[in-house]
Every structure is written in structure tokens, then in C-alpha cells.
Chains A and B, each alone.
Chain A
């Protein structure tokens, strides 16, 4: 990646970095499981945007689009299963979504 590319696409690169930092912060700081999932979603969005920018710069748009579509499908499956697990945690912990209450894996 040249300096010229960086200068030309700086708003997009800043968006990627911002999304990454916000997602990481969201995951690190909170104890709420739904908010952790939102943080993971933001990290995936940063990766998606970076792939799209890479495709535009290298002129491999079809390849990157198919990669992004694959990523979106995997993302949906992951979020659906994770949401099922969150609902299970909620029912098991008597109305709590706190990750600190999920340390007991008995049974």
C-alpha cells in the first residue's frame, strides 16, 4: 500500500479504524452479553469495509464481493446461534444477562 493510496482513501481508512476501536471498546468494557454481540458485529463491519476498500484499490471487485457475501452469511449464522445462547443464559440465570453470572457451567 502506497502513501498515495492512503491519502486518497483516508476517510474510509479512518472509518475502519473507528469501527474497530468502538467494537473493541464495546466488547472489553461491558458485562452485558447482547452488548458484547453488538461489539462483535461492529468488528465484523470494520473487516467488511476493509475488504471492500481492498477490492476497489486492486480492482478485484467481484472476488471481494463474493468474500463479503460469504462473510455476511457466516455473520448471520453466528448471531442467530449466539442469540439462542443468550436467551438460554437469560432463562438459566433467572433474568440476568451479566457475563459474570455465566461462569458456572455445571449441568
Chain B
């Protein structure tokens, strides 16, 4: 939430990089590589491209909006503190019932052999995404 949008995008990329390190430390290297290449790389490029294609706000506009934001949301930290206190007092017990871990040692086995229906949804989602982008940019070209 910095004043500059570009700095926010760079901050997001650094959060992704930090998350990658945590994933490596928690013995999840495949997910970490995906996070680094896709989230820290591709999504950051998308954000920077979108920011460079749009008009930035002037400094006076930014300051005015910051003041307005402080006036509108002064009570938010109090709500977060109250929610945290309420959650800590609730003492929720979570019971996870999972199959033994020996069945899914290899991530490739889980990805390609144990979730066929998920993969179908995955493929449909990919097609829908490309279709959505095509429709959006076609409309802009028509104008």
C-alpha cells in the first residue's frame, strides 16, 4: 500500500520471492519453482505492463486520497484487534482426517494419476481464461 502503484507491484513480487524461500524451507520445491517463475515473474510483468499503460495520479491527488482514507478507516485496526482477541479466546479444535502419507510420495503421481477430474476442470479453466482475454481485447479493437 505505498503511494506509487509501481512500488506496490514490486513489493508483491518480493512477497512472492520470500514465499518461494519459505516453500523451499518447508520441503516443497516444485511449488516453490512455480511460485517463483509464475507469480514473481509473469504476474509482476503483467502488473508492471498494466501500470505503465495507465495514467498515474499526481502527488496532490495521492495526498488528498491518503487523508480521506485515514478519515474513513480510522476504526479498522480496532476491528482487527477485536477479531484477533475473539479468535484467540474461541480455542478451536481442528481434526484432520487424511489418508496415510505413503500413498502420495511423488508430486508427479498426485498431479497426473490421482486427480483426473481436477485436471479436466483445470483445462476448462485455461480455455475459459484464453477465451475471456480474446473477447475482452476484441471488443476494444472494434471501438
Contact = CB atoms under 8 A, between A and B. Distances in A.
Contacts of B63: none
A81 B96 CA distance: 35
A34 B51 contact: yes
Contacts of A25: 1, 76
B1 A26 contact: yes
B82 interface: no
A87 B140 contact: yes
B54 A34 contact: yes
Contacts of A12: 22, 26
B140 A80 contact: no
A104 interface: no
Q: Is the interface of A mostly helix, strand, loop or mixed?
A: helix
Interface centre among A17, A26, A73, A77, by most chain B C-beta atoms within 10 angstroms, is A77
Nearest to B68: A31
Contacts of B53: 87, 90
A105 interface: no
Interface residues of B, number: 62
Given A28-B76, A45-B16, A88-B139, A72 B38 contact: yes
Nearest to B35: A72
Interface string A63-84: 1111011101111111111011
Indicate the size class of the contact surface on chain A.
35 or more
Contacts of B125: 73-74, 77
Contact of A52 (B26, B42, B136): B26
B43 A76 contact: yes
Interface of B: 1, 5, 8-9, 12, 15-16, 19, 22-23, 26-28, 30-31, 34-35, 38-39, 42-43, 46-47, 50-51, 53-55, 65, 69, 72-73, 76, 80, 84, 93-94, 96, 98, 101, 104-107, 109-111, 114-115, 118, 122, 125-126, 128-129, 132-133, 136-137, 139-140, 143
Interface of A: 1, 12, 15, 17, 19, 21-22, 25-26, 28-32, 34-35, 37-38, 41-42, 45, 48-49, 52-56, 58-66, 68-70, 72-81, 83-88, 90-91, 95, 97
